[in-house]
Amino acid sequence: MGLLSKKDSKLITDPLADNNPITIQVLGICSALAITAELKASLVMGIAVLFVLGIGNVVISLMRNIIPSKIRIIVQLIVVATLVIIVDQVLKAFSYELSKTLSVFIGLIITNCIIMGRFEAFALGNGPWRAFLDGIGNALGYAVILIIVGFFRELLGSGTLFGIPVLGDAIEKTGVYALGYENNGFMLMPPMALIIVGLIIWVQRSRNKALIED
């Protein structure tokens, strides 16, 4: 018998594809548009949400029987705010330049609809282990979309990945630039992130017709 039952496994696998929080549930769109011009920022934001949602779901689940229903939203906000402060302080201590790049968007994790939605819809009604799996699954689904969008935006917009030139030197005209390629500045603008997310949604619905709304 495996570590995870089939039902538990779906808590992780479903958000990666057919129940993705960004492309299917249409949650957490703001950060997908705002911070994905760089792959590094996309990856760090994904890791931050993974930490906050994974730990937060467990904490809310452990407290679910003692939280008065009238103040449950306040309690959820306190939990997520505490975890976000931890992430923010760690970033400032070990990667100050990146923390400035993400700046206000780390703080906005507090109001990320994915996190508050999973607290309310799942963690309050399930045990810590399943809540943890649900948090990890939804955070991974969120991170995958951010990384895909960040990959294409940085590659085609700047010719780099993680800040490292991969298409050649745009000034010296080496690599693909020698063939006449020029960086597409439009890729670095927020509207392009929305277009890429739209293309991902189109691919998903093309592969799975059940996702197409009536």
Amino acid 214: pLDDT: 61
In 3D space, the residue among 5, 2, 11 whose CA is nearest the CA of residue 121 turns out to be 11
- Whose structure tokens read 């906005």? 108
- How many whole angstroms separate alpha carbon 188 and alpha carbon 57? 33
The pair of structure tokens assigned to 72 is 């449950």
Q: What does the pLDDT look like over 37-56, one tens digit per residue?
A: 889 888 988 898 999 999 99
In 3D space, the residue among 117, 138, 132 whose CA is nearest the CA of residue 22 turns out to be 138
- How many whole angstroms separate alpha carbon 162 and alpha carbon 20? 25
Amino acid 168: pLDDT: 86
Q: Are 94 and 33 in contact (CB under 8 A)?
A: no
The pair of structure tokens assigned to 42 is 């996309």
Please name the residue ranges forming H helices in 14-71: 29-34, 39-63
Q: What does the pLDDT look like over 59-116, one tens digit per residue?
A: 999 999 998 888 999 999 999 999 999 988 988 888 888 777 777 777 778 777 888 8
Amino acid 34: pLDDT: 76
